[in-house]
Each structure stands twice: as structure tokens, then as C-alpha cells.
Chain A
């Protein structure tokens, strides 16, 4: 008998780390997403009893995959009609792959998960296929790759559980009906397919980093899921600098997560954050990744974003930040990612290098850009610059504009305090 608490902890850990691997291995025999999910779910459920009596296996993921695959094979044998409801997943043979379908059932059941070709990339690229809408890509990735329950996904994106369940069902139906293939894109297709995967991870991260609404500034669970996905993708695709860049960016941002709010859940600005509480190991890991990516050739968007974030974090204090270098990196970022938001963020180091007046002129230019209309951080940055220029009246007005646009409660409290401060200074 193994201690129940130890087994529960092992199951929870394997669920968090290995869900994608177990599901991907099961999908290959089930060739039906619902059936595969069900079998993996059952395997996790049966692990509790089995591991308590027989002990935790040396390779829990292999045990789970073997169990889930056996269940899938049994289910197919028991009820062939089950498979005919929807077309089977298309799993094209790839050069260098052993001929996959039809896999002999006995062998499939006997295989250990390590002996299988890793299916996680197939799973990720299928979930983030451009034929699926981005909302569906995000939901499917959380459900299939991270194993997050539908109810939790619904709560994270502020929709009802039936709505989220319908979104996921519709996406699965499209995968099977339109025959979105369960395969890794060919190298020539990657430049077109990879950005969608990176965008899903990035969006998950930003949704968690500043929750779109509600009381708390960060939604840690989404941030951790995004970081997990970035790490997994980086391990699976070590040669893609942009994957490394995104991983590093998330590491840096996550390293500072705990200091973005104070004990009362109030927002703390970068200049006031307690740098001694930053996760130095994560920052060092990010630094090494960035250096490696920069060596690989001209950096892309995420590598540059990571390099900027890393420079901010490496400074001993806000005052000692290398603003000139950050400004240079922003200039390069604008070349590969000419977004108005990048231009706006660039005004922060610009103010430190060329003075707040120069930065304000740039912000006023950006106010004419329709794409930034309604973007709360524009008036917030403008207000900060006006305040530094000794124009508190105008600063208060700009802070009020930002407040009118902000939906996150912690940010609203921060902005309201700034308005009070500026009004006092008039």
C-alpha cells in the first residue's frame, strides 16, 4: 500500500506535466479526440486505485499512456459504431515515420510511451491550425494539450461552461469533418504555421498577466499554463529562435510576477518593485536563451521582446537601467514588428534617453493613430510624461481618460490614486 496523499500528488503532478504526452499517444490509436480524451481521463481515474495498491510506477506517464491506449482499443473492439459517428482523424504518413495506421492493437497496448514518437507537437499544431478561429485554438490547446477542465477554461475566459463546451465541440467537429491532419507541419510550412502557436501561448500569457477584468491583476494559473506550453514547445523545437524568444520573454515576465502587486493586491510600478524578490534563476535561464537566440541570426519579434524585458530586469535598479540599449532594441523591434503598441512602449525608454518632452511629442503623434483609440496605456503613458514635465492639470485629465478605459480593478485603483495626486499638485 502506498500512501494515498503521495499517490494523489503523483497523479496531480503527472496530470500537469504529462497530460499532452499521454493524450497524444492515445490519439494515435483512438484516432478520435473524444474517445482519446475519455480514455485518458479514465486512465487517470484508475491510477488512483492501482497506484495505491501496486505502488507508483517508475514511469507514470508510460503507465497512463498504456492504460489509456488499451482502453481505447477495447472501446473500439466493443463498439465499432463508436468510430463511425465522425470521420477518423487523418494521420498522414511522414517521411522517416514508421507507417503509423493501422497500428497493430496488441503492439499499441504493449508500447511504452517513451517508445512512441512524441506526438505532442502534432497535438499542438492541430489545436492551433489556422482553419480554427483563435478563440477555438486557445480553448482546444488548454483542453487537449494542458488537460484543463472545460469548466476552468470557461471561467478563465468569462463565458458559461456550456458556451465553452460548445466552442470546443465545434472545433473538434471541424477537425474531424474538414480533415485537419494530425501531423507536424513540414519545414516549409513552419514559417506560416508557427506564429499561430506562438500567438496562442502569448495571448494566454497576456490574458493571465493582466486579467482583462475583475479584481486581481494577475491570473496566475493562465500564466503558468502559458509558461508550461512555452517551455514544452522550446524543448520540442530547440532550433527555432522565436520559440526560444517567447520562452525567455515569459520567463522574465514570470520572474517578476510576484512583485507586480503588493500585499493588498495593489499595482506596483516597475520603478518601485522589490527587485530582491525577483526569481534570479528564471532570469538567468532567460538570459542564456536570449544570448543563444541572438547568435542564431537576425532576431525576430519575440527574441527582441525578450531581450528588452531581460534588460529591464537585469538592471540593479530602475535608475541603472540601460535605457540607450533598450531604445536601440525597440528600434530593431519596430523594424520586424511595426506595431503602434511597440511605438508607444518605445516612448518609455525614449523619455529617459531624450527627455519627456521628446517622448510626449511621439505620444501625441500616436494619438492620431486610430488603432490605438481606446488603448488605455496611451493616456496613462501620456499622463506620466505630463506629470514629469510639471503639467499636473493635463496629467490629471489624461489619467482620467485612462481610468475611463481601464477594466482591471487593480489598475483602476492605481489610476484613481494618480488622479488624486495630480489634482493635489495643481
Chain B
């Protein structure tokens, strides 16, 4: 088994601070599916592009790093035996049929860092 990161590209993220449960229904349903199937390793939904702040060199700017039609709206990591299997899982993301898409990247290394009490304190 290998791990693949799935980056969700959409015109914007549905996860605004005041999003209603209905706004997030599609996303949550899909996340539940992947969790139930056992392929989901971790997942993060990001807030909309208006919340983003970018740093390039010494300059801080308001907004996403790349000025483009789509932004990274979230990302998750799945486990799959090979790229075909990973693509088959990734293409079930509803965003694919909602004007956005996903990018699948093999994970080199990493994961959630286990932290001791002092550092979280």
C-alpha cells in the first residue's frame, strides 16, 4: 500500500466560517464514504480564499499564493495499492463534477506529528 495526497481544486472552498451544514453536506458525505471504506488516512478542509494570506520573499499579500481561477480548497491523504486504485478513489470526489478537480500526488513522507504535553501546553 502507498499513500497519495489528494488536493482539491475548486473556485473556492465551501468551508467558510459561517457555512451551514447544508453547504458542507456534499463534502462531509464524501469524507464519510472514504473513511468508511478504510482508504482515508487524514483530511483537512480549508477556509475560503478570502481568508488566505501569502508570503513571497519579504512581501505579505492578501489572498491565495497563485492568482488563479481555482484554489486548493482542502486536501486529504488516502491509502491505495497503486496509482490506478488511487485515481479511482480520487475521481469519486464530487468536486470533479462541480467545475473543479483534484490533483493526486504520491506522498514521500510525513504525517501528523505526535506531540508531548509541554509543546501543546
Give A contacts to B, CB under 8 Å. 87, 90, 92, 129, 131, 177-181, 183, 185, 189
Docked CA distance A90–B82 (Å)? 7
Known: A90-B81, A90-B82. Is A179-B2 also a contact (CB below 8 A)? yes
Residues of B within 8 Å of A189, CB to CB, are 84
Are B106 and A92 neighbours in the complex by a CB distance under 8 Å?
Answer: no
Are B82 and A92 neighbours in the complex by a CB distance under 8 Å?
Answer: yes
Residues of A within 8 Å of B87, CB to CB, are 131
List 13 A-B residue pairs with CB atoms under 8 Å apart, sorted by A's residue number.
A87-B2, A90-B81, A90-B82, A92-B82, A131-B87, A177-B106, A178-B83, A179-B82, A179-B83, A179-B86, A180-B84, A181-B82, A181-B84
Q: Which of B62-91 contact A (CB under 8 A)?
A: 81-84, 86-87
Across the two chains, which residue of chain B brings its CB closest to A176?
Answer: B106
Docked CA distance A131–B4 (Å)? 14
Residues of A within 8 Å of B84, CB to CB, are 180-181, 183, 185, 189
Docked CA distance A87–B82 (Å)? 12
Q: B92-117 interface mask toward A, CB cutoff 8 Å, 1 = contact, 0 = none?
A: 00000000000000100000000000
Residues of B within 8 Å of A179, CB to CB, are 2, 81-83, 86, 106
Docked CA distance A129–B104 (Å)? 15
10 A-B pairs with least C-beta separation = A181-B82, A90-B82, A179-B82, A178-B83, A178-B106, A180-B83, A179-B83, A179-B2, A181-B84, A177-B106
* Majority SS at the chain A contact face: loop
Are B83 and A92 neighbours in the complex by a CB distance under 8 Å?
Answer: no
Most buried by A among B84, B86, B87, B106: B84
Docked CA distance A183–B86 (Å)? 15
Docked CA distance A183–B83 (Å)? 12
Docked CA distance A92–B83 (Å)? 11
Q: Could you tell me the distance in whole angstroms from the C-beta of A330 to the nearest C-beta in chain B? A: 34
Seed contacts A179-B81, A179-B82, A181-B83; 14 additional CB < 8 Å A-B pairs = A90-B81, A90-B82, A92-B81, A131-B83, A131-B87, A177-B106, A179-B2, A179-B83, A179-B106, A180-B83, A181-B81, A181-B84, A185-B84, A189-B84
Q: Could you tell me the distance in whole angstroms from the C-beta of B41 to the nearest C-beta in chain A? A: 16
Docked CA distance A336–B60 (Å)? 52
Q: Could you tell me the distance in whole angstroms from the C-beta of A424 to the nearest C-beta in chain B? A: 55
Are A180 and B82 neighbours in the complex by a CB distance under 8 Å?
Answer: yes
Across the two chains, which residue of chain A brings its CB closest to B84?
Answer: A181
Give B contacts to A, CB under 8 Å. 2, 81-84, 86-87, 106
Docked CA distance A185–B82 (Å)? 13
Across the two chains, which residue of chain B brings its CB closest to A90?
Answer: B82
Across the two chains, which residue of chain B brings its CB closest to A179?
Answer: B82
Q: Could you tell me the distance in whole angstroms from the C-beta of B117 to the nearest C-beta in chain A? A: 37
Residues of A within 8 Å of B81, CB to CB, are 90, 92, 179, 181
Residues of A within 8 Å of B83, CB to CB, are 129, 131, 178-181
Residues of B within 8 Å of A177, CB to CB, are 106
Q: Could you tell me the distance in whole angstroms from the C-beta of A87 to the nearest C-beta in chain B? A: 8
Q: Could you tell me the distance in whole angstroms from the C-beta of B92 to the nearest C-beta in chain A? A: 15
Q: Could you tell me the distance in whole angstroms from the C-beta of A131 to the nearest C-beta in chain B? A: 6
Docked CA distance A87–B81 (Å)? 13
Q: Could you tell me the distance in whole angstroms from the C-beta of B110 to the nearest C-beta in chain A? A: 15
Across the two chains, which residue of chain A brings its CB closest to B106?
Answer: A178
Q: Could you tell me the distance in whole angstroms from the C-beta of A200 to the nearest C-beta in chain B? A: 18
Q: Could you tell me the distance in whole angstroms from the C-beta of B88 to the nearest C-beta in chain A? A: 9
Q: Could you tell me the distance in whole angstroms from the C-beta of B115 to the nearest C-beta in chain A? A: 30
Q: Could you tell me the distance in whole angstroms from the C-beta of A198 to the nearest C-beta in chain B? A: 19
Residues of A within 8 Å of B106, CB to CB, are 177-179
Across the two chains, which residue of chain B brings its CB closest to A186?
Answer: B84
Across the two chains, which residue of chain A brings its CB closest to B4?
Answer: A178
Across the two chains, which residue of chain A brings its CB closest to B2?
Answer: A179
Q: Could you tell me the distance in whole angstroms from the C-beta of B87 to the nearest C-beta in chain A? A: 7
Docked CA distance A189–B83 (Å)? 14
Most buried by B among A87, A129, A179, A180: A179
Across the two chains, which residue of chain A brings its CB closest to B108?
Answer: A177
Residues of B within 8 Å of A129, CB to CB, are 83
Most buried by A among B81, B83, B87: B83
Residues of B within 8 Å of A92, CB to CB, are 81-82
Across the two chains, which residue of chain B brings its CB closest to A131?
Answer: B83
Across the two chains, which residue of chain B brings its CB closest to A177?
Answer: B106
Docked CA distance A297–B91 (Å)? 31
Docked CA distance A348–B2 (Å)? 54
Residues of B within 8 Å of A87, CB to CB, are 2
Q: Could you tell me the distance in whole angstroms from the C-beta of A177 to the nearest C-beta in chain B? A: 6
Docked CA distance A231–B58 (Å)? 60
Docked CA distance A226–B74 (Å)? 43
